[in-house]
Amino acid sequence: MDNQQSIEQEKRPYVKAELKRMIFHKEEEAFSIASVKVLETTENLKMEELIVKGHFTPLEEGETYIFHGYFEHHKKFGEQYVVEEYRRLLPETKDGLIAYLSSELFDGVGKKTAERIVETLGENAVPRILSDKQVLDQVPKMSAKIKDKLYYSLTEHQGFERVMVELTKHGLGLKTIQKIYGAFGDKTLDILEEDPYQFVFTVEGFGFHRADELARHRNLTHDHPTRIRAGCLYTLHQNLQAGHIYLPLETCLLEMEQLLHHPGESPLTYEQLSGEVIHLGEEKYVYIEEDRIYLPTLYFAENGFVTQVERILSGEMEVDFTQAELLKVIGSIEEEETMSYGKEQFEAIETALKKKMMVITGGPGTGKTTVIKGLLHAYSKLEDCSLDPKDYTKDVPFPFVLAAPTGRAAKRMNESTGLPASTIHRLLGWDGHQTFEKDSTNQIEGKILIIDEFSMVDMWLSNQLFRAIPSDMQVVVVGDEDQLPSVGPGQVLADLIASDVIPLIQLIEVYRQKEGSKIIHLAHAIKNDTCTLDMLKKEQDFNFIHAPDSRLNEVVTNIVAKAHEKSIDMKDIQVLAPMYRSETGIHEINRSLQNRVNPGSKNKREIEWKGNIFRKGDKVIQLVNQPEEGVFNGDIGEVAAIFRAEENIDHVEQVVVEFDTKEVTYSKKELSNIMLAYCTSIHKSQGSEFSIVVLPVTYQYNRMLKKNLLYTAVTRAKQSLILCGDPQAFIKGIRTKDTNQRYTYLQEKLKKETDFTYDEDEEDEALSPYDFM
């Protein structure tokens, strides 16, 4: 079939175009942007020149291509065509084919040689050569060297298109195909036929089940060695999502056996499974320590973090102030702030000032924020350094570095201290992919680093952060170990605390409870396992509204609607739930609340995308990181405007969302990056606080009702907490501990590898007035 026939028979929309120039190509991601001249198209396109972008290799100027994809509007560069599949068109005439083969693309092939090739092999010469290199032996007066060079060049220029055509039949996207071809080149199709499990080892994102499906069509046996190895990697990746750093060997083998078993086939033996795991270890696809099996990234992250902690602890630390000077400074701060520090709070400030690294932990109302603020002021006075960033230059950087895992937590740090605070990702200069500007060779500048909400920080990010901390910087880690652990693998805060290698001050005394806060009282009752049904009685800042499952959504909606009618800002009231899908799940509650507090009308604009409706005034949450726009996963904003295609120069429908400090514009296809946020998940709320929290509780959430989850939800409320649903379900939940143990060896490694072990008894015996409080 010639090119023109194949184009005419295309059922999918296409753009036939000639490459004018390559604009951009990023080798490591195989991502390209090019300018093309449109020759023919079935797309709704009027422009003669078009920008195409996608995961493809650099194209050749003057060559003609067929592109399949879709249009996307770029905020800065306008209309662009996103390529999902493409192929190069070969010349359609005999003379054109001769000109093609004798072009500078094929070194050593002149016009006469090209004529002989076409005369001998016909106008299908190129596909014939690619299918069987030996056909070139039929061409007279052609040296072996020229044959090899021509075949290699044709494979290089046409090989990817052949691979792409074959792999797209199996549902693979262009980005994944690029990764596969980049790893295996012209051997890709051979590997596809002989052993598709090879793709699992080399290509990030190529899953075991996809390889298994390809292998079944090619009759590979269920006990094929690479199938067993791929099953091991899949098992480790699946458990990574459950928060595990490693898997015990026996656990890993058991899960592999369950994954790899084929009905009707004999079970795989222990020797078969363990033998292939050992092979993976020898090839460094996994790392094996005693009976622990790690993926490489987590092996290096765990060991790397231990190394960085040891380095920081062993750095020189000079305390150039006396106890009397410290007491004087604390006293002056108390006078300025018209408050008094408790004994634990004073010890926390003192320890942070005297030690290279420390951990401060405590529940709500114990004064963690008060300690952070007091520490900053005490450091400023003792070191005679200003708290105003304007007093510093590039040569003399601001000494105070404040960071938190989320934007909202960083904003709270800024509001409570008056000092700049950023997310950890922004502090490290994350590019949105896998690169951080700050690392062991380009470290953070400053003298003291305070990291809040550290329970949310996973093993990967902890290692990356600590690599970037200079040895002469003091580090203060702050968090509540009873909250949910990080979404990513590990439980770094809990392991730091349990290791006993770092000074720890636990703030136990509750101050806000003395001011009559039922929320704080309830949180500590949950924390200490003393909460009972009697404690769920109505108070000034707390209420539990009984509601059957059939009316729970309605009750939640009425609570929020009444608050809205009283002119309470939707930013100040937040519904939290643990599950997305159920009659009382996040999606249903959001739909109900949207229809009640922001209903549709003729005068209110709205836009529909994949079954979801967004209206002007809707509360929404960002679902993915977009560092180029300055918004991150978990940021909450409000739909400020909706524009029709004819109302803007970009000629596409747009939604503008206003976040705290910026506006972000979304095209219609980008609306999958946000969702309604009248109700959000408890996990998404970590690091945030809200004036009013509404928390539905029902046995429908049964598998999610755990102590740490409910504790986290309760501690998000600052002024008012309203529980609704079934009190018995709540009590059952707070008495159910999360028994899903995370496999991590960080605690043991810190104890073993770090020479310094902190012992409170070794502290200076000098007494202070706080010892008598």
Domain chopping of the chain, boundaries: 14-167, 201-294, 320-507, 518-735
| Count of C-beta atoms within a 10 Å radius of residue 128 | 16
Residues 6+ apart with CB under 8 A from 602: none
> Over 60: is that where the pLDDT of 283 sits?
yes
| Region of poorest pLDDT, from 144-153, 246-255, 698-707 | 144-153
Instruction: Name the average pLDDT for the chain.
Output: 88
The answer to whether 320-507 and 518-735 have equal CATH topology is: yes
Q: What is the CATH number of domain 201-294?
A: 1.10.10.2220
Number of residues written out for the chain: 773
pLDDT level of residue 10 (50, 70, 90 thresholds): low
Residue 739 has pLDDT above 90, yes or no: no
State how far the Cα of 354 lies from the Cα of 763, in Å rounded to an integer: 11
Mean pLDDT over residues 390-411, rounded? 93
- Look up residue 637 and give its two tokens: 């904003």
Q: Where are the beta strands (DSSP E) in 551-653?
A: 573-577, 606-609, 612-615, 619-622, 636-643
DSSP bridge pairs for 65:
17, 88
**Phi and psi angles of residue 159, each rounded to the nearest 5 degrees, phi first:** -60, -45
Q: Which pLDDT band holds residue 329 (cuts at 50, 70, 90)?
A: very high
Mean pLDDT of 230-257: 94
Residue 657 pLDDT > 90:
yes
pLDDT at 514 over 90: no
| pLDDT over threshold 50, residue 762 | no
The CATH class that applies to domain 320-507 reads alpha beta
Model pLDDT, residue 6 = 52
DSSP-derived pairing of the beta strands 717-725 and 542-546? parallel
Which of 225-234, 528-537, 663-672 is least confident? Answer: 663-672
**Confidence class for position 149, pLDDT limits 50, 70, 90:** confident
pLDDT band at 28 (very low <50, low <70, confident <90, very high): low
Please give the class, per CATH, of domain 518-735: alpha beta
Element (H, E) at 506: strand 504-507
**Average of per-residue pLDDT across 725-746:** 92
Of 273-277, 604-608, 750-754, give the lowest mean pLDDT range. Answer: 750-754
In 3D space, the residue among 141, 145, 156, 140 whose CA is nearest the CA of residue 108 turns out to be 145
User: Cα-Cα-Cα-Cα dihedral of 578, 581, 584, 588, to 10°?
Assistant: 120
pTM of the model: 0.78
Q: Tell me which of 125 and 449 has the higher pLDDT.
A: 449
Which range has highest mean pLDDT (264-273, 363-372, 464-473, 682-691)? 464-473
Res 488: pLDDT: 92
Question: Where does 573-706 have alpha helices with state H?
Answer: 586-597, 682-685
Q: What's the whole-number mean pLDDT along residues 473-486?
A: 93
pLDDT at 765: 40
Binding-site positions for ATP read 365-369
Q: Using the predicted structure, report yes or no on whether residue 375 has a pLDDT greater than 80.
A: yes
Binding-site positions read 365-369
Residue 275 pLDDT > 70:
yes
Tell me the mean pLDDT in the region 26-53.
84
